[in-house]
Each structure stands twice: as structure tokens, then as C-alpha cells.
Amino acid sequence: MKTVTSWQDRIPEHNGGKFAVHDIAFRPDGTQLIAAVGVRVLVYAAADSSAGDPIHSLKGHKDTVYCVAYSKDGKRFASGGADKMVIIWTPKAEGILKYQHSDSIQALAYNPVTQQLASVTASDFGLWSPEQKSVSKHKVTSKVLTCAWTNDGQHLALGHFSGTISIRTKNGDEKLSMKRNAPVWTLTWNPSREEAFDILAVGCWDQTLSFYHLSSKQIGRDRHLGFDPCCVSYFSNGEYLLMGGSDKKISLWTKEGVRLSTIAEVDDWVWSVKQRPKLNFIAMGTNDGLIAMYQLVFSTVHGLYQDQYAYRDYMTDVVIQQLVTDKRLKIRCKDYVKKIAIYRDRLAVQLPDKVMVYELCYDDAYEMKHKLKERISRKLDCNLLVVTSMHIVLCLDRKLILYNFAGVWQREWILESGIRYIKVVGGPVECEALLVGLRNGTVAKIFIDNTFPIHLVKLESPVRCLDLSASRNKLAVVDENQNCVVYRLDTKEQLFQETNANSIAWNSEYEDMLCFSGNSLLNIKTGNFPVHQQKLQGFVVGFKGSKIFCLHFVAMHTIDVPQSASLYRYLEKKDFTNAYQIACLGVTENDWRMLAMQALSDLNFVIARKAFIRIRDVRYIEFLDQIALDRKCTGGDDRVYLAEILAYQGKYEEAAELFVKIGHEKKAIEMYADLKMWSKAKEICPNDENLKDLIRRQARWAEETGAQRDAAALWLAAGDHIKAITLMGDNGWLTRLIEVCRSLNKSEVAAIQLCGKYFRKHNVHAYGKEAYEKIGDMKSLMQLHVEMQKWDEAFRLLNSAEGLTNVADVFLPYAEWLALNDKFDEAQEAYKKAQRPKEALRMVEQLAYNGVLERRYDSAAYYFWKLAVENLRLTVEGGLPQAEHATRLAKFKEYRHKAELYYAYNFVHKYNEVPFCSTDSLHLFHMTRWLLMEIGPLCPYGISKLNIILALAKLAKELDAYKLARQAYERLQKYVIPLHLIDQLDIAAVQIRSKPFTDKEELLPMCYRCSFTNPLLGDKDCCTQCLHPFVRSYASFNHLPLVHFVLAPGLGHDEAMAILNSNTRVGRKKEADWKEHQADGVQTLTFTGDDPHDMMSGIEDAGMNLDDPFTRQLMSLDFHGSSDKQYHPVVVDADTLRQMKRDEIFIVKWSKSGTAFTSPTSKIDHAKESRLSPDLQVTYYRNVVPDLPVVLCSSCNHFFHEDDFEYEYLKAGGCPFCGVKTS
């Protein structure tokens, strides 16, 4: 660092006394300097050529002026002094305001944000701002010597004579305080906004400098100064401190408090020192009246070795910068750095009283690290400093002194002239060579292990800069006349000379390339080629590869220099070796490609391969590897290689001509095929076979590129019909496909079958039929009909070609199609024809259970009946194992019973759920009674006993069956009732108790066998006296006048049917059932039933003929005297049968159930009948009340009232239960 005096002014003495300069301040823009001198305020110009000229001498004060301060906006400044007055001035030296304190003014400070002025005295301090009409004053306990605002203007620091530091808010309230041991004469806040917190620098008259946080916490320890500080201020935006005081010096310190150097020495105490804003100028005022301005010139302290650059930062730090990667490492020396030297992994730093030697290294992530290797604790003075692996070299004018890292003197050299330039140029450890340039123009080489210098060359003017080439064979020197001279050291021959050079550097990675700078130009010299020039600011200090390191003022820059020009020159000379070396220094990818292509064209495969590797062109690398292998194995033909190179370079026609010329037509065809230039390839084809192969290849390419139509046409042209058909079929080109199919010969079965397959896939029945008929493939044709659901044609083909296919192959998909279209009955028949009874059963089971789940109980009943019939059919037809036979019979009974239950429950469900129900209430009443008697303890899934009892209770109440209704309501108490019905049922249960506990007599069922009147609800659906099962009409569910009987032993079914069919008996004439006679004037009417004889006559007249043996047998049965509680049917012999009418007899035959009506005269199949259980064999019933006609459905074997059956038949088109149409 160097100090230059810019200007100074000494205040003249007056009456033998000197005027002290107590304070100075700069205007924020740096154009004015104000000074407190005597009783005046002096204003100086501080900028341009008029710097130092007095502008104003202000006389506003009556006594000594102690302090001045400028506002941050530059619109006013203030002065204060011993006259206790504060005067506010404008920049034009006009006083605009003054206010007074009770004591002399010690210091002034403007708030940097609010322009608030703080003035301090011995007894108080005041705060004034332009917005205030009065000054806000605050008392203090001790004299205030100095004050300063924080950067944000929120706090004011006061330094007291008592040693107290008081931190006040901007309103004047004390926030906290710190205590020192001596008067606090000066303090200031760090102006840097990059600091994490506010830092206060404090100078005390116990000769210490200390630092504090705003929180009053001290930073580090006190720094001992050795003098009393009178002023302290920050310099260079808070990076340094300026200090002056009783030592009569201005000194520069780091912001941490480390003394760096002395800026100036004067004859008396320094009262004030300030930096000119944003510039490296400082002003000071002394006790003897001197005002001076100094310029600080900071010299560059640095060192360079190849791409490692070390430089001084903030005077106390050393930064090592990797110029190529721009990685940096900072070393904090905490002392003034005077010199820096770097060599390989060694860094030497000269401090005022020692030399530090560091070792540099890199970690796994290639990050720079350092560690202290040696410390030479000696004060060594030198002009230049260099470091080697184990030594340092100090330069003092003509003398070079060598020390080891322990600080021990090794040797010294005294040269013939002063040293201008010195550089370590490498060598073994402890034997390194130094290149030295002297003031007399001599260039010498010194080995540090040799006492004698080696003379190299001598110039006519002093040496300014020099460098040695990478091989140490060439020396480049720049002299004071800016001449650049290059020598060959082994012959001392001058190789090259240029002018206008101020620095020079050899390329450390290429022997024949150097650069030099001068006149704002960068010159690059390669081999014997002319110099290449470009603009440059600064001067070069290093050259590595394609990067030039340039120092401009104090900053090091890295410049990327393209080597394209040198590369092109070597390529023109076909010097591929040097061209490759130049390219390795750094060229663009296009330059690498040019080098590779030219080397390849010149058949220099080694350089070409290296160049292609650098640009990662895998295609050319593989090509060159193939050539290398071919040359190794066969020797190869350079003409073939040249043709292949032409092809790789895009010169296809030239390559093809050369291939044909040397007899390699296949290579030409292969090339054009790879390029998809099919027409050119076909022109070269020598025969048809090669042409077809080429067409196939073109077809494959067309497929890959998505040109499917072209590919299909090409496959046809090549004769590959299968592939062409596959493409057409996959893309759905059916018109074109049928054309191809029709054009094919019948012998090409596989191709025609493939056509048919695609027609089936696209659902084109006519084309598929045509294809299969062409080759007579009836099996595939059948599959086509089935897949297209052309069932009529499939059945015709099946009938016409017996044995062609399995019946199941047609009927099974037909059944599935029927099921999907909700034709379940037809589907069941189709399953049967397909001999898949289990599938039929499984379908019907699923339909039945779906009906239950969906509450379609009528459908559920229908499909359960279908299941019952199917199981019965399997049983009757025989062929089943004994265990399965019994299982099927059991399933028949189970499904039949479920069908009946769901059939009846359907009406009850509708009654409960549908608002309006068309079913007669009496019929519903009978249904609910029958359901409760038939269900038993376990309900089938989907049937709710609660709903049945609820319906029964309502219907019984409606039909005056109050007793049954009360019983129903009592039963409901056992069930969980839905919440919305609880109140309704409670009311109904109470209301029913007001009714008589009887049932309407007309509702009570009478047994037609024993004439016993039964209760409405029993345990079973049979007579409680004779146990004769009630036979119900499955329309109204009222019981019918049918009596079950069995044939007498020895009387067979066929004989019984013969008797019945031949019976022609006619009944007696019916007589009147009352008599009238007159006697003694009295007319008397007598009924025939009034006496026992007449009663029997009445029974006969009611329709029961007492002359009929069957009737007499019914009347003669005594049920009260019998202890046997089993049911005994009526036994009928041949004589009794002869007295019966055929139309009164009903015969139930389960072996023929499930079909339409069969004649009752038809004979039974005894084999089938024997396979049934006894309760399912032929059963006989007689209608004992012929006036009530009854109908029996021969399909489901259920009875109906004739009127009900006819009504439901007409409505539904079949039996109300099974839906079968009967006669």
C-alpha cells in the first residue's frame, strides 16, 4: 500500500497561537469538506481539480467550534462549539436555524434515515429534526464526549467521560449501557449492511480499542493500541478502520482490530480522520491546524503457478483460486500480508514478523484444502519472494538469499545487476531452477543447489518479463522497450521477434505456442504460422491449454481462446499429429469433427479414431473398429475402405460407383437398403432372387415405419401371401382382403383359412362363408355360423352334415346366447340338447336365487319349479347312481316346496308393499294361513314371517276373524317390529280386544272327508280329526272338495282305469227336501232333515249319494273312537270304482309331470313309476262335490277351481303356477 498526498492546508497562527482542527466531515456526495477550526467553520472543495480550495469561512459561532456533521441527504450540515450553540447551515453556507444548550457542544451526529440531529454536551443531549418546532433534551449523569447512530437510525450510542457507553432509542430513552475503565473519546458503528448485526467500535483513553454488539455483548478482547485514540472511523464500507490520536499518526486497521500499516505521520495529535465517500481518499485534521487529503493506493500482492492463483484479500487474507474450475480457498492470516509466493503445492505468505508456509491438497471431491507446514519466525525484508518445494528465496536488489523452511540460511547469489524478474521453472525437489531477468538485460538460470548462475542470453535493455517453454528448450523475453524475443536455448538462435509486448507466457501444454500482450491486444503465436490477434484488457500472466490468464488492475480473469485458427493451418498442411495436439488444447465440436473427417479421408485411422472418441461419435468409432479388425484379419482393400468412408460421409452415389467398380455390388445394395433408397438399390440388383429379397426388406421397413398398405402390396409382390393377409386383416382392409382371397388358388389352404379367420374377426359373415366354402372347410364354416350367431344356418349345416361336429359345439353357445338375451326356457332346452344338464340346472338355480335376492318372488317360484321338474326328469329317466338318485328326489321335493312357498308369498309381498293390490282379500287370507302352516320353524331365504303375520292380522280383522286376528297380534309380540309400525300395531292390538273372541263361521274350513269343522290356523295343513291333507286351489288357496283314496290290494292302475272308462251309472232322481200337509185348519211345512231318516235324505240331496259305496264308507268312519293318530286313506275296490263317475276322479302321475297335457287314459310307465318314492307315485282323488268343478294341471299337478283356472289361464296364457299351456 502506498500513500499519496492529494492536498493539504495549514491554518495560519494568530497571536502566536495555533488553531486546532477539532472535527471534519464530508458531504455525502464527496464534493465538500467542512472543518471545525477555531471559531469558524471552513468549507473546502473536495473534488476535481479544485480539490483543497477554500470555498467558505463561516463566522456564526462566538467561541471555539468543536464539532461538525453533514446530513445524509446532503441538504444541510450542523456545527457546535464552546458557545453552547448549534447552528444548522445549508450547502450554500447560509445559516437557517440555531438552538442552544446549557453547556458546550461536544459532538454532533445526523440520523442516517430520519435526518434527526443529535447534539451532546456535558449535562444533556438533544434531538432535533426539521419536523420539530423544539429540541427534545435529555439529562445525562456524566459528560458526553462522542455519539453515533446505527445504520437503521433506531439507536444512538453515547460515549461518556466516566467510561459509560449508553445505547439510546431514537426517542432518547436508554435501552442498555456498557462500562469501560476510562473516558470513551470516540466510537462509531460499522456501516456495512452485510454484517449479521450492528457492531460498535469504541476507542477509550486507556489506550484500547474494543468492539460490541448492539446487545452490549463484547466481541473478542480489548486491543491494546499504545496511544490514546482521538478518532476512529470505518473505511471501504466497513472493511477497515482508520484511527488517529496521540501517536501523531493515521493508521489502517482491519475491522477485527489488527493493525495493518501507517498511512501518514504528522507533527501533532490527530483529532479527526474521515474517508471521502466511496473513494480511497481520506482527510484528517490535527491539533496544530493541518488539514490534509491523502490517496491510498493498494498494490497487488499475488502469485501464480500454472492455473493456481494466490492473491491478498482485505490486506490480511490470502485467497487461492483455481482459475480453470474457479474454486477458491481463503486463508485467514489475521495480520498484514506483505508478499505471496506459490509453487506446486507450496504457498509462502510473508507477514510483518514471520513467513508462513502452507501445503495445499485436494480431497476426494476435488475441493482445495490447506494446512500449515512451517512457520519461519523471522522478520525478513525483500523486494521479491519465491518458494520452492523445500525453500524460500528472497530477492534484495542484486542479491538472492536461500532459506530452508526452518529459517536457516543456505546460500546466496550476488548478481551483476539488479533483479527485475524471477520465476521458478521447475526441477527435482531441492534442485529447482530459477529463471532470473536483470536490469542490464541479462537472463540467467540458477539451480538452488548450485552456487554458480548460468548465463543464457543478454538483451540490450532491461528485462521486463520472461518465460520458459514446457520442454525448457525455448526462452521468451520481453524487455523495457516492449520487444518480445524468442530464443532457442541449445543454439542461442533467435527464432522470433515482435514489438508492442508487455508480458509473455508459453502454453504449458503445447511446446510451440506462446502468447504475449500489448497495446490492448492479445497475440498468439503457433509454430511458424503468423500471429493471431484479438482484443485484450490487461496483460497475460499464464497460458494453459486454451485458457489464458489475464491480470486487469487487481482482478484475475480467465479467457478462453479458441484454437480453431491454428488447427485449420495444420489441417491445410495435412499435419494431423500437430492438428490433434492443437485440438486437445480446446476447440469446438465442429473443429473436432473436421479433424476426424479429414484424417479419415486421408486414411489416417489412428488420428480419426481419437478425434471421433473426443466427440463421442459411436457410429464412426464402431466403423473404425470394424476397419481395424478387418485389416488385422484379412489385410483389407483400401478402395473398399474408401468407398465405405464415402458412404459414411454422405457421398452415396460416389460410394456406390466405387463399390460397383471394384466388384462389390452387394455392398452398394446394402448401403442403399440401409438408406431406404429402394429404387437405386433395385437398379443395381443383378437377378430376380436378389430383387425379391430386396422387396421383402423394403416391406419390413414399410411395416416398421407405419406404411402398412405399401407393406402389404410389397409382400404380395414378393409372394409372401401370409404376411400380406396378416397386414390386411390386422388393419381391417376387408375389400382388399376378399380380392386377395378370390385370387388365391384353392391349394393355398393356409392362406385362405387365414382370410376366413380375419373375416370372422371382423364379423363379415358373407366373406368368411365364401372363403371356407372355397376350400370345403365345413368345420370352420360351422364355427363361423356360431360366432356370427347365424343359428338357422348353423342348424341346417348341422343337420345336413352329420358327424361333422359335436352337437354341443352348436347348442352350447346357442344356449349361452339365449341366456344372454333373457330366453331362459329356450336356453334350458338348448343346454339339454347340448347334453349339459348341469349347466342348465346351474343357470336355473342362479335365476331362482336372483329372483329371491331381487324380490321377484313370482320369478323365483317359476325357476324353483323348473329346478324341481329338471331333477324329477333326471330321476325318472334313470341311469343315476343310487346316492344321486335319492339326492335328486330330495331336491325335487325341496324345490317344489320352495316354488309353492314363493308363489304364495309373492301375493303377500305385493299386498304389504304395493299401495293397491288386485288380489281378493279372501284369497290373500287363505294364502297367509297356508304359508304359516307350511313354512315350519325355518323360513326360506327372502320370506319374512313378520310380513306374513302382519298381513294375516290385517286380513283377519277385515274378514271378521277376530280370534285369529288377536292370535296374530299376540304372535307379533315375539318379533322385532319396524319403528314406523310400532304405534300402528299397538293401536290395532288394543282395538282387536274390543271385538268378540270368535271367528266368522263361514270362514272355518270343513273337512270333506269327515265333515269336521277345523280351526282357521293349525299346526299342519290337514284336518285335525282325520288328518286328511287339505287339497288347495293354487289360485284362491281355498281347500277343494277332493278326497284322497287308494286302490284295494290286488287292483292295479290299468284295471282301475278300465273300470272307470267303462262306467255308465246314472244317479237317482233328486226328491224335494221338504213336505207340506194341512190338518185341522193348520198348514204345516216339514223339512226332511228333521228326523234321522230325513237327515240322511238331506245329505244325499246335498250331492252325496248314500247309495254310493264310497260315500257310505266316508260316513261310516269313526274317528273319535280310534286311538291311532295316523292318516288312513280311503280304500276303494273294483265294485266301488264301478259306482264312480270318471269325471269325478283325478289321477296325479309325477312320472309324466313337467310336460303339456296328457290323456288320463294313457297308461303309465311302470319302470319310470318304480323309480319314484311311494309318496310320488300315482295318487287318486275324488271330487265329493261335483257341483264345484275342479281342474288339475297335468304339468305341475296342482288343483284349481275351474273358474279361477280359466280366468288366470286367459290372463297369463297358461297355468297360473307353472305357465305351461294345457288342454
1017-1028 tens-digit pLDDT: 888 889 988 889
Query: Once rounded to an integer, what is the mean pLDDT over residues 1148-1163?
Result: 54
Q: What is the SS3 assignment for 22-66?
A: EEEEECCCCCEEEEEECCEEEEEECCHHHCCCEEEEECCCCCCEE
Residue 41 confidence (pLDDT):
95
What letter would DSSP give residue 92?
T
Q: What percent of the chain has pLDDT over 90?
A: 43
Residue 8 confidence (pLDDT):
93
Phi-psi region for residue 518, left (φ > 0), alpha (ψ -120 to 50) or beta? left
Which carries the bigger pLDDT value, residue 8 or residue 1070? 8
Residue 1164 confidence (pLDDT):
55
Q: Which amino acid is at 101?
A: H
- Under the banding of pLDDT at 50, 70 and 90, the label for residue 1157 is very low
CB burial of residue 615 (10 Å; 0-12, 13-18, 19+): middle
Residue 1092 confidence (pLDDT):
40
Q: How does pLDDT run across 886-911, given as a tens digit for each residue?
A: 888 888 888 999 999 999 999 999 88
Q: How does pLDDT run across 819-828, given as a tens digit for each residue?
A: 677 777 777 7
Residue 198 confidence (pLDDT):
92
Q: How does pLDDT run across 10-51, given as a tens digit for each residue?
A: 998 877 788 999 999 999 999 999 999 999 999 999 988 888
Residue 100 confidence (pLDDT):
94
Residue 980 confidence (pLDDT):
84
Residue 803 confidence (pLDDT):
58
- Under the banding of pLDDT at 50, 70 and 90, the label for residue 1162 is very low
| Window from 644-648, 721-725, 1172-1176, 1178-1182 with minimum mean pLDDT | 1172-1176
Tell me the C-alpha distance between 1047 and 50, whole Å: 155
CB burial of residue 179 (10 Å; 0-12, 13-18, 19+): exposed
Residue 1163 confidence (pLDDT):
55
Contacts of 428 (CB under 8 A, 6+ apart): none
Query: Once rounded to an integer, what is the mean pLDDT over residues 526-538?
Result: 89
Q: How does pLDDT run across 1201-1222, given as a tens digit for each residue?
A: 999 898 888 888 888 888 887 6
Tell me the C-alpha distance between 1 and 338, whole Å: 9
**Mean pLDDT rounded to a whole number for the chain:** 86
Q: Rounded to an integer, what is the distance from CA 116 to the centroid of its chain?
A: 57
- Under the banding of pLDDT at 50, 70 and 90, the label for residue 1064 is low
Residue 707 confidence (pLDDT):
82
- Under the banding of pLDDT at 50, 70 and 90, the label for residue 331 is very high
Look at the block and give the residue holding cell 385362405. Answer: 752
Query: Once rounded to an integer, what is the mean pLDDT over residues 1066-1072?
Result: 43
Query: Would the pLDDT of 73 be above 60?
Result: yes
Tell me the C-alpha distance between 636 and 164, whole Å: 98
Q: How does pLDDT run across 800-812, given as a tens digit for each residue?
A: 766 556 766 677 7
Residue 53 confidence (pLDDT):
92
Residue 1155 confidence (pLDDT):
46
- Under the banding of pLDDT at 50, 70 and 90, the label for residue 1083 is low
Which carries the bigger pLDDT value, residue 1085 or residue 160? 160
Q: How does pLDDT run across 352-400, given as a tens digit for each residue?
A: 999 999 998 887 667 888 899 999 998 988 999 999 999 999 999 999 9
Tell me the C-alpha distance between 361 and 962, whole Å: 113
- Under the banding of pLDDT at 50, 70 and 90, the label for residue 1153 is low
Residue 1078 confidence (pLDDT):
61
Look at the block and give the residue holding cell 466531515. Answer: 25
Query: Once rounded to an integer, what is the mean pLDDT over residues 188-209?
Result: 93
Query: Would the pLDDT of 246 be above 50?
Result: yes
Contact 7, 293 (CB under 8 A): yes
Residue 1072 confidence (pLDDT):
47
Cα angle value 519/523/529 (rounded, 5°): 145
Query: Would the pLDDT of 1161 be above 50?
Result: no
Q: How does pLDDT run across 136-156, given as a tens digit for each residue?
A: 999 999 999 999 999 999 999
Taking the model in full, what pTM does it have? Answer: 0.54
Query: Would the pLDDT of 742 be above 90?
Result: no
Query: Once rounded to an integer, what is the mean pLDDT over residues 264-272?
Result: 95
Residue 40 confidence (pLDDT):
94
Burial 712-730 (b: 16+ CB within 10 A, else e): bbbbbebebbebbbbbbbe
Query: Once rounded to an integer, what is the mean pLDDT over residues 846-869?
Result: 86
Residue 649 confidence (pLDDT):
81
Query: Once rounded to an integer, what is the mean pLDDT over residues 476-504?
Result: 92
Which carries the bigger pLDDT value, residue 186 or residue 974? 186
- Under the banding of pLDDT at 50, 70 and 90, the label for residue 160 is very high
Tell me the C-alpha distance between 36 and 67, whole Å: 6
| Window from 490-499, 504-513, 687-696, 992-1001 with minimum mean pLDDT | 687-696
Residue 1081 confidence (pLDDT):
59
| Window from 430-434, 480-484, 741-745, 826-830 with minimum mean pLDDT | 826-830
Residue 1075 confidence (pLDDT):
57
- Under the banding of pLDDT at 50, 70 and 90, the label for residue 689 is confident
- Under the banding of pLDDT at 50, 70 and 90, the label for residue 863 is confident
DSSP reduced 3-state for 811: helix
| Window from 574-588, 670-684, 741-755, 1151-1165 with minimum mean pLDDT | 1151-1165
Which carries the bigger pLDDT value, residue 819 or residue 1005? 1005
Q: What percent of the chain has pLDDT over 70?
A: 91
Query: Would the pLDDT of 1048 be above 60?
Result: yes
Residue 1070 confidence (pLDDT):
42
Query: Would the pLDDT of 1102 be above 60?
Result: no
Query: Once rounded to an integer, what is the mean pLDDT over residues 973-998?
Result: 85
CB burial of residue 587 (10 Å; 0-12, 13-18, 19+): buried
- Under the banding of pLDDT at 50, 70 and 90, the label for residue 1077 is low
Contact 733, 759 (CB under 8 A): no
Residue 1091 confidence (pLDDT):
45
Pick the closest to residue 206 from 182, 237, 239, 174 (CA basis).
182
